[in-house]
Amino acid sequence: MTAVESEAPPRTARATRLTHRVFLVRELGIVVALGLLIGITAVTNSRFLSQQSVKDLLLGATILAILATGQAIVVITRNVDLSVGSVLGLSAFLTGTLFLNHPGIPIPVVLVAGAALGAVCGAVNGALIAAARVPALVVTLGTLYVFRGIDYQWATGKQINAADIPVPFLHMGTSTLLGVPLLTLFALAVVLAAGFYLRSYRSGRELYAIGSDPAAARLSGIAVGRRVFFAFVVCGMLAGLAGVLYVARFGTLDANAGLGQELNVVAAVVVGGVAIFGGSGSVYGAALGAMLLSTIGAALPVLGVTPFWQRAAVGALILAAIGLDRALSVRVTKSLQRGVNQ
């Protein structure tokens, strides 16, 4: 073995370590921005960090974080699911209908039913995209309206009130454990489980390979269609689960539940450092992005910022995240090239 050959693995390892450090900067940046925003707002209004305010902040980010986790898995494969808001609404109305028509139904059964309905919707998206190879943007834009239309037809103008929902289920949306809302702990468990899967299982790591280069992944023997189908099923399942928790959080709902939520979800994923072109990012970053967007929505009114500038701030964050992702990608590529060529 020559000296050059013996030095190549350490240099490649150094380049790989640099890659991980560079991409970690994105998530650390979100934490810093979140801390600065909370600190500035707390100085302006000390009640912003009261126990109730912190609880509201966490609850406000809970459902968005679950949706962003599923969306991140899809975006990592270089796809997008625009139907998550409609799936949430469909699952939420199913939840309310089950409680209304079947008093005494066990809560775990409702959770499973909502997640299963979401998984079916995700399977419809995944089958059209993976089997027919139709662009995800086109398919999910269509199913966004289809699922919402089914929701409107099912609801037929009806509204389900908190009085129709069992009290123990509503307590899920208000109860805390050691000061942390139960729904937030639920979302944390979902994020940790998804992150562990993506990092520790081969099928999870293959999603990154698909997002980096679908053609190369297919040539290397990865079942691209099957993996993409799975990603959409998981995204739909988590959207369905979020619909069930939506009912626990708000109690009252109609066919407009989750309307427009898909744009916030995509924004949270992009701001959270998941590359819109696939192949990089994490569900942890997506969850942090959800927390940041929810905090912006709560903090800017306290700071006296008008709704127009609130939306502009979110748009600026998205553009900054895309620009940062591009800059980091170029830096990583150059570092890897130096590691290989040296």
pLDDT score of 2? 43
Whether 38 is in a domain gets the answer no
What integer is the mean pLDDT of 138-142? Answer: 93
Q: How confident is the model at residue 35 (pLDDT cuts 50, 70, 90)?
A: confident
Sign (positive or negative) of CA dihedral 155, 124, 269, 62: positive
Q: Is residue 41 assigned to a domain?
A: no
Tell me the average pLDDT across 294-303.
85
CA 221 – CA 264 distance, rounded (Å):
35
Give 224-235 pLDDT, tens digit per residue: 889 999 999 999
**Which structural domain range is residue 107 located in?**
57-336
**Domain membership flag for residue 36:** no
> Minimum mean pLDDT among 220-229, 264-273, 275-284, 326-335: which range?
326-335
Residue 228 CA neighbour count, 13 Å, CB half: 31
Q: Are 286 and 69 in contact (CB under 8 A)?
A: yes
In total, how many domains does the chain have?
Answer: 1
Q: Quote the pTM value.
A: 0.88
Is residue 30 included in any domain, yes or no? no
* Residue owning tokens 């997002």: 211
Contacts of 51 (CB under 8 A, 6+ apart): 179
Angstrom distance (rounded) from CA 132 to CA 121: 16
Question: Residues 150-191: pLDDT tens digits?
Answer: 998 888 878 888 888 899 999 888 888 888 899 999 999 999
Residue 152 phi, psi (nearest 5): -60, -40
| CA separation for the pair 143, 274 (Å, rounded) | 23
Q: Is the pLDDT of residue 51 over 80?
A: yes
The residue to which tokens 């979140």 are assigned:
34
Q: What is the pLDDT of residue 340?
A: 52
What is the CATH number for 143?
1.10.3470
pLDDT in the model for residue 45: 82
Within-domain flag for 231: yes
pLDDT of res. 5: 40
- Are residues 243 and 114 in contact, defined by beta-carbon separation less than 8 angstroms? yes
Taking alpha carbons only, the member of 203, 208, 79 closest to residue 133 is 79
Q: Evaluate whether residue 124 is within a structural domain.
A: yes
Residue 28 inside a domain? The answer is no
CB 125 within 8 A of CB 143: yes
Query: Which of 86 and 258 is assigned the larger pLDDT?
Result: 86
Is 294 inside any structural domain?
yes
- Name the DSSP class of 42: H
